[in-house]
Amino acid sequence: MIGIIGAMQVEIEGLKAMLSEPKTETVSGIDFISGRLGQTSVVLAVCGVGKVFAALCAQTMILRYPVDAVINTGVAGTLCRALGIGDVAISSDVVQHDMDTAGLGDPVGMISGIDIIHIPASRTMAALVEEIAKEEGCRSITGTIATGDQFLCDRERKNWIRSTFNAIAGEMEGGSIGQVCYVNKVPFVIIRAISDDADGNAPEDFPAFVEQVTHTSIRITARAAAAVQERIDHEQSLD
Ligand code: ADE
């Protein structure tokens, strides 16, 4: 089974519409909808915006459903010139740009306890998503996705995140979902269509483009769920 998490309804509703035999369970105010996307068994959830809701959702999903892998799908602000509105950012890893114990001598972004800054996403999943994006005619880049409890719309902050973490896109949930998956040893990937420039135009561009670009992230995610499950099943059959 593949778990699919989006922060907002618009990031998930296109997948819900494709689901057969849907069954809903509500935990802590979050609806978990399990069913089949074609031949693939999935559970979908709209977690809400920000790191706390995202972590709550990912942990609940992992505890209550037999998920082999988790996909976080949705939109992001671009942090690099090569990604424009409608293009796709795929995670090689995630960071939390608002994690900061530098006052205690740690590097900015280091997550105490696991003591790393960059949490690795599944390489296998990222490679499958890259392939699908290409087949769908989408420009994509795989790299670091930066997460924090902040809507990015300021050039200085954007440049700081890009230069500090070498990040390609910024959003508000992926790093948190990645941390939950990492500690639970569940492979994950983030798929984000670019909705805005994470700069001065973001407050206007985000609402203007969010609906349009989620068609791209949803199309790729639907195919990715099937491809990832097929790969996992194949690897397990070799064990
Ligand atoms: N998701 C989409 N655009 C974003 C932005 N500019 N900042 C944070 N999250 C986002």
Token pair, residue 42, equals 């999935």
Residue 108 in this model has a pLDDT that exceeds 90? yes
Domains of the chain: 2-238 (3.40.50.1580)
Q: Closest Cα to residue 117, out of 136, 144, 91, 82? A: 144
| Mean pLDDT over the full length of the chain | 97
Reply yes or no on whether the pLDDT at 61 is more than 90.
yes
Contact 167, 158 (CB under 8 A): no
For the segment 15-54, what is each residue's pLDDT rounded down to a tens digit? Answer: 999 999 999 999 999 999 999 999 999 999 999 999 999 9
75 pLDDT more than 90: yes
Q: Is 202 in the pocket of ligand 1 (CB under 6 A)?
A: yes
- pLDDT at 239 > cutoff 90: no
Q: Please tell me the pTM assigned to this model.
A: 0.97
Distance, CA of 100 to CA of 85 (rounded, Å)? 30
Question: 147: which 2 tokens?
Answer: 């997460």
What mean pLDDT is predicted for residues 98-116?
98
CA dihedral over 132, 81, 198, 165, signed as positive or negative = positive
Q: What is the residue with the minimal CA distance to atom 10 of ligand 1? A: 171
**Residues 181, 171: Cα–Cα separation, whole Å:** 17
102 CA distance to ligand 1 middle (Å): 25
User: Helices 9-18 and 202-238 sit at what angle, rounded to 10 degrees?
Assistant: 40
- Please indicate whether residue 133, judged by its CB atom, sits closer than 6 Å to ligand 1: no
Kindly state the average pLDDT of the residues 177-184: 98
- Best residue among 47, 72, 75 to mutate for probing ligand 1, ranked by most atoms within 8 Å of CB: 75
Phi/psi of residue 181, nearest 5 degrees:
-65, -40
What's the confidence (pLDDT) of residue 6? Answer: 98
| String of DSSP letters for 20-80 | EEEEEEEETTEEEEEEEETTEEEEEEE--SSHHHHHHHHHHHHHHS--SEEEEEEEEEE-S
Centroid of ligand 1 to alpha carbon of 213 (angstroms): 13
Sign of the Cα torsion 221, 226, 227, 233 reads positive
Q: How confident is the model at residue 2 (pLDDT cuts 50, 70, 90)?
A: very high
Neighbours of 210 (CB within 10 A): 17
Nearest residue CA, atom 1 of ligand 1?
A: 76
Question: 143 with 166: CB under 8 angstroms?
Answer: yes
Ligand 1 center–CA 93 separation, angstroms: 17
Q: Is residue 28 within 8 Å of residue 56, measured between CB atoms?
A: yes
Atom of ligand 1 nearest to the CA of 171: 9
Cα 216 from chain centroid (whole Å): 14
Over 90: is that where the pLDDT of 155 sits?
A: yes
How remote is the CA of residue 123 from the centroid of ligand 1, in Å? 24
Give the active site residues: 11, 196
Tell me which of 149, 172, 205 to substitute to probe ligand 1's pocket, judged by most ligand atoms within 8 Å of the beta carbon. Answer: 172
